[in-house]
Structure formats: C-alpha cells, structure tokens
Amino acid sequence: MKIIMLNSVSDLHGYIDKSQLTRELGGTLEYGHSQWIHHRTAIENFAMTVKTTAQMLQTFGTDLAETELPNDVQCTEELLSSHTEHHNKLKDELKLAVKQGATLLTCIREPVTRSSTSKLSEDELENVATVERLLAQLDETEKAFDQFWSKHHLKLEQCLQLRHFEHDFREVKLELDNLMDAQAGFTDIGDSVTRVEHLLKEQKQLEEKGQSLALHGDQLIQNNHYAVDSIRPKCVELRRICDDFTNETKKKYDILGKSLELHKQLDKVSKQWCETGIYLLASQAVDKCQSQEGAETALCDIEKFLGTAKEHQVSNPKEFYNQFDMILTANVQKVLQKLEDVQEMFDKRQVSLKKLAAKQTRPVQPVAPHPESSPKRASPKNTRPAPLSKPQRERFQTHTHSVLTVLHIINELIETERVYVEELQSIIEGYASEMDNPDLIHLIPSALQNKKEVLFGNLPEIYEFHNRIFLKELENCIENPELLGRCFLKRKEDLQVYEKYCQNKLRSEALWRQCGDSLFFQECQRKLDHKLSLDAYLLKPVQRITKYQLLLKEMLKCSKNSEGTAELEEALATMLDIIKSVNDSMHQIAITGYEGDVHELGKLLMQGSFNVWTDHKKGHSKVKDLARFKPMQRHLFLYTKILLFCKKRDENTDGHEKSPSYSFKNSLKMSTVGITENVKGDNKKFEIWYNGREEVYIIQASSIELKNIWVSEIRKVLTGQLEACRGRTQCVIFVVLQWLGI
C-alpha cells in the first residue's frame, strides 16, 4: 500500500475533489456527523416502530380469526365493542407511526427545502429511500389489516343481527304459541265485546310483528348473511305460525260478529225492554185493576207491551236463550235469568187480570217485579211488589255466589303471583346482582366469595319462568276461569324447577347461617327498604309452590260439574305430586354413607320412618318371636330399583333448628325381594324378604293406611318387573310368583 504524506490542505485538493470534502477540509460537501447520527438513530427507531406495529396488527388479526362467535346478544355486543375498541387503538398507533415517518422524512429533506441550490448527499438520499420504503410497508400493512377488519367487523355485525333475530324469534314464537293456546281455548266470547275486540287487536299486532320479523330475516338473507341456513327455517316457521294464526282468527270473526249482534240485542233487552216492562207492572195500580174495566185496560196494556217483544226478537224467550247458548257467560246468564223472571211476572199478572176481567169474586194479588230489578222512579204507594219465588231466588243466589267465588280465587291467584314475581325480582336485583357490584365487594365476607349459586340456587330460572310465561298465562284465565286447570297441566314440566331449588335449600341455609350477619346483606336490605332479611325472601319459592294446591282446592269446591272441572282435578293431583317429589328429594339429598349414586337407583317413589325387626337366619325360620326384641328405627327410601334402609339423625347446627340426615345402613334390590302383606298379630306390619326368606325384615308402619300405601307401591314395582320379565325369553314364572308372595 502506497502512503502519501501531505503538508497542507491544498495538497489534499490535488488528490480529492473539493466536492467530496467537507468545509473544514476546504471542500463543498455538506456533512454534519451529529446530524447523520441523529438521522440514523431516528430511522432505526422508526423501523422498529413499523415492525412492532405490524406484529401487533398480525397478532390482533390472528385473535380475530380464532375468536368463536357468541350465542347470545349481550356477549356478541360485548365482543363487538371490545374488538372495535382494540381496532381503534391499533389505528391510532398506525396514525402515529405514519406521522412519525412523515416527520422523519421532512427532517432528512430539510436542507433541500431551505435552499433550492442544495442537494441531498448520497447518505441522505439513502435515508430518504429507507424511510419511504418503511412508509410504503406501513401503508401495505394498514391496507391488508383494513381489508381483514372489514370482513371480520361485517361478520360480527351479522352475528349480532342473527342473535337479535334469534332472540326476537323466540319471543315472538312464544307469544304466538301462547296466544294460539289461548285462542284454542277461546270457546266463548265473554262478557264484553270490547275485551274481545281488544284481544283481536293484540292478535293483529302480534301477527304483524311476526310477519315483520320474517321480512327482516328475508332482508338478512338478501344481504348475503353468513347464517342463511339458520335464518331461512325460522322465517318459514314464523310465516307458518302467522298463517295458522290468521286462519284461526278468521274462524273466530263469524262468532264475534254474532256475539256483537247478540250483545247489542242483550243490552236493549236488559236496559230497555225488561226495565220498561218492570215499570209497567209496577205502575199498574191495584185498586184500578179490581174492576172489570180496569183489569181489561191493564191487560190490554200488557198485551200491547208484549207485542213490542218482536222488535227485540224476544217474543219467544226460549229461542232468545238458545241464541245465547254459545256465549253463556255469567253476565249473559244473569240477563237471561232477568228476562225469564220478567216473562214469568207478566204471565202471572195476565192470569190475575184475566180472572178479574171475568168478574172472579176472589181478589187476586198482582205479581210485582223483583225489588232489586225495579227502576229508580217511585211506584204508586198502593202497589206492593212481591219477591221472586224461593226456587228462583235460591237458584240465582247460588249461581251468583259461585261466580263471585271463582272470580275472587282467580284474582287472588293472579295478584299474589304478581307480588311473588316482584319479590323474586327484588331478590335478584337487590342481592344477587349486587354481589358483582365493585362498590360493595369489600363488604362481602370471604366465605361468600364465588358462592352466589349456592346461596340463590336456580332462583333466576324460577323468576324467568314466572315473569315471562306463567304470570301471563294465569292472567289469561281472568276472562276464561275454566282454563286454569289446563294452565297448570301445560306447565307441569316447567314447575319441576322447584325440585332443584329445594334440593339446594339446605346448602343455602347453611351458607346464610355463616354469612347472614355481614354488612353486605345489611346494606342491600337497607337499599331495598325490606322489613325482612334475605332468608325470609329465599323461603318464598317453597311457600309459593305449596300455595297453588290450596287455591286449586278452593276452585274445585265451587266448580263442581262445570266446564274445566276434570282438568282442575288433574291439575290438583299434579301439584300434589310435585310437592311430594320436592319433599322426597329434600330428604334424599340428606342421605350419607351410601357409596353408590342415588340418581342411578331409579325414581324415588316413597320415603318414611318405620319400626324394623330383622332376621338373618337361613331357611324358613319363624320370625314371629322377633317382635319381643326392641325394634330399630329406620327411614326407608323406596326406589324403582332398590329399597334403602337408613338411620335418621337430627343434627343441631349452631343452636339453630335441627336438620335431619340419614345414615345408610342396608339396601335390597327390588329384583330379588318378596313381600308378605299381613303379619299375624299386628295389622300395621308387613314383611320384606329375599333369597327364600334368608333375610326377613318386619316393617311396622304408624298406621294401617300408611302400611297399605307402601304395600301397594311395592306391589306395583314388583308387578312392573313381572310384566318386564314376560317380555324376556326363558322367564322363570314360579320365581316371580314367589317374589309377589303368591
């Protein structure tokens, strides 16, 4: 390598052109080392920003692609909101990055902008190119992200549209189904045409709502919604229900038209013809009717008035009664009874006047109208109205009392149902929801953390059923009390939710005893202004499910041999079965020590406490001597597959009321047992045994009635096994007969 030693800057110019040298070396090259360092550092930072931003967008895009779409409106709205918020933050980051790159590019080009004669050096040109490339890369990333976000955002919006559509579909379908059921049971018109017209208006509005929702579904399909296969069947179902609904409604219009005509006619008969006739009879003076001329005049007035009956189409009361046979409601029957009574008054008055006109010597006391039916204007002083006959009065009073009693029970049922729903709502909103309130978290004791479902059980499920469904169906029974029984039968399965609630009650009460004195519950009670604490309100569902059967019993007392009586009786039996099932299940969950799963033992049929003697000798030993020994106290649980023997234990918990538990002792498979119905010496005893009487259990009930119930239920189980056995091949008949004690 050749080295040249230079003595001055001018010597340097002989080797290197001035344009390649900086000013301190006598050249013209514009170069600042600190500026170069600053630019390179800024470019490296910007490159890192571009890389980080691209990674953030890619990560977010991956998360979006892997996100599962929710199945309800609220979660979808929350997801859409969170994704949109995250997207907006990333867009802000993009804008800042672009702004940073643009600012950096301006700084690098600054010498050129200051002087038109200045030119960028090669380093500066390279820096400009680098920044422009990074900005272009950022722009491409943004475009790709915007395109992906547009598709994802559209899908989220379509998902939200779908969830709203599905939610509205369920609500409209439920309303239509309920109204269809009400319409199916709408066998008469009721007491008020106004009420019926209002019902038809509601039907029309609901039908339009259903059609509008189906049209909305069609629009979603036309807009290329991704869930076309899910939307189209629901639109078809809505239109089918609406069409069926419309067809059924059209059938009712003929009846409604007839009803409107008859109700108007009924109004004229009650307020015009009957009242005018009653006043006519009341205004005929007795003294003037005693003469032949007076009697003939009065008789002529009556015949003239009766002639006006044709104008009101009541010339024949029986035919008029038959016209109203299709709408024989309480109000209609009352008016028809009034018409019949007025007609009877006229008949009796005519008989009396004809006798007077024929100069009968025996004076006849004219028949006056019923005092309660007389017009407000005063009758002549010498006219003494006579009351209805005793059979008429008793018939009218009995019918009126029955109708009023039914209406009173229906009103009580609905009013208490409304109060019940409001109380459930206050518990959920005032206590359960407050457990998630950040302002009250510090008041919640640690033992209560994450125990909301233990304390409240499935109370929200019970509230939703009563608020959305059952209350509305009960309110429909105001106009049609005969539908009450059907209402309970229809919701038999739904009312089983109480079994789950009652099964959880012991756990809930234990948790309440542990945490009930906390400041959290005191604060919630203060806000609600409740006089009673939460535990009293948590008892409401147990009280409510037992209240229904009492009201149904009261309804049956005053609805004998009337429409809907059979359904009322069936509904009462159903509610009693539900209460029994709830009671049995609460005992079942208190069984301890049983290693198997009680839910695999079949249906729990019976449970109760008995005196039990046992004999484990082999062969047919005489067990009658066992009665001399002290019996064991056992609580029996009869399932379709197994009979459990448990020992009842009353456990005192912290000085509170004792709650029983049942310690498992023994079990017998129902497929191997036999039964002897009667034990010599005590008609309250029966025997359970198996394996040729290898083990014998003498069971003593508290009463003959209880023993008979248990024996009957056990025989049903064994008989069912016999019938099942007949369907299998190679059944050993004599063994089964032995099981049955035959």
Tens of pLDDT, residue by residue over 598-640, are 878 888 888 999 999 988 765 444 444 444 568 999 999 999 9
Q: How confident is residue 658, by pLDDT bands cut at 50, 70 and 90?
A: low
| For range 640-653, the mean pLDDT | 83
Assess whether pLDDT exceeds 60 at residue 318: no
Helix 330-357 and helix 390-427: axis angle, to 10°?
170
For residue 643, the SS3 value is: strand
Instruction: Reply yes or no on whether the pLDDT at 373 is more than 80.
Output: no
- pLDDT at residue number 557: 84
Distance CA 311, CA 268 (A): 10
Report the pLDDT value the prediction gives residue 459, as an integer from 0 to 100.
Answer: 95
> Contact at 8 Å (CB) between 556 and 565?
yes
Taking only Cα atoms into account, the Rg of the chain, rounded to an integer number of angstroms, comes to 45
Q: How far apart are CA 737 and CA 721, in angstroms?
A: 11
pLDDT-based confidence at 97, cuts 50/70/90?
confident
Per-residue confidence (pLDDT) for residue 377, from 0 to 100 = 38
Task: Tell me how far apart the alpha carbons of residues 402 and 418 are, in angstroms, rounded to a whole number.
Answer: 24
Please say if the pLDDT value at position 239 is more than 90.
no
Token duo for residue 398: 């009995």
Rounded mean pLDDT, 456-480: 92
The separation between CA 133 and the C-alpha centre of its own chain, rounded to angstroms, equals 62
**CA distance between the termini of the chain:** 127
Cα 28 to Cα 16, 107, 687: the distances in Å are 12, 21, 123
Q: How far is CA 345 from the centre of its chain?
A: 54
Q: What is the pLDDT of residue 383?
A: 38
Burial class (CB in 10 A: 0-12, 13-18, 19+), 515: middle
Dist CA 627 CA 637 (whole Å):
23
pLDDT at residue 370 in the model: 39
Report whether pLDDT(392) > 60.
no
Judge whether residue 426 has pLDDT over 70. yes
Backbone angles phi, psi at 598, to 5 degrees: -60, -25
Name the H helices within 285-442: 286-289, 292-307, 317-323, 330-357, 390-427
Give the CATH number of domain 591-739; options: 2.60.40.10, 3.10.129.10, 3.40.50.300, 2.30.29.30: 2.30.29.30
CB 27, CB 121: distance < 8 Å: no
pLDDT tens, 397-409?
Answer: 455 456 657 877 8
Domain ranges of the chain: 1-28, 33-163, 260-376+384-388, 398-588, 591-739
Write out the two tokens for 646: 């448990």
| 395-to-280, 341, 609 alpha-carbon distances in Å | 26, 12, 50
At 189, give phi and psi (nearest 5°): -100, -30
Give me the half-sphere count of Cα atoms (radius 13 Å) on the Cβ side of residue 47: 12
Please state at what angle helix 540-557 crosses helix 565-588, rounded to 10 degrees. Answer: 150
Q: What CATH code would you report for 398-588?
A: 1.20.900.10
The whole-number pLDDT of residue 26 equals 67
What are 137-179's pLDDT values in tens digits? 888 888 888 888 888 888 888 888 888 888 888 887 787 777 6
Sign of the torsion angle spanned by Cα atoms 729, 735, 739, 740: positive
What's the confidence (pLDDT) of residue 433?
Answer: 94
> Residue 641: what residue type?
K
Nearest to 115 by CA among 172, 30, 191: 30
Tens digit of each residue's pLDDT (9 = 90 or more) over 10-23: 777 777 776 666 66
216 vs 297: which has the higher pLDDT: 297
Q: What angle do CA 373, 378, 379 make, to 5 degrees?
A: 80
Q: How far is residue 453's CA from residue 365's CA, in Å, rounded to a whole number? A: 78
Give the number of C-alpha atoms closer than 13 A to the C-alpha of residue 620, restricted to the C-beta side. 1
Q: In whole angstroms, what is the distance from residue 301 CA to residue 379 CA?
A: 17
pLDDT, residue 385, reads 37
**Band of the pLDDT at 24, cuts 50, 70, 90?**
low
3-state class percentages of the chain: helix first, strand second, coil last, to nearest 5: 70, 10, 25
pLDDT more than 70, % of the chain: 71
Cα separation, 606 vs 640, whole angstroms? 10
Measured CA to CA in angstroms, residue 498 lies from 22, 458, 465, 708 at distances of: 93, 9, 11, 29
pLDDT of 346 strictly over 90? no
- pLDDT tops 50 at residue 546: yes
Strand 604-615 relative to strand 695-700: parallel, antiparallel, unpaired? antiparallel
In sequence order, the β-bridge partners of residue 657 are none
CATH of 33-163, one of 1.10.10, 1.20.58, 1.10.600, 2.40.160: 1.20.58
pLDDT band at 331 (very low <50, low <70, confident <90, very high): low
Nearest to 501 by CA among 570, 430, 419, 589: 589
Task: Give the sheet arrangement for strand 695-700, strand by strand.
Answer: 591-592, 659-669, 642-651, 632-639, 604-615, 695-700, 685-690, 673-676
DSSP notation for 179-226: HHHHHHT--S--S-HHHHHHHHHHHHHHHHHHHHHHHHHHHHHHTT-T
Residue 651 has pLDDT above 90, yes or no: no
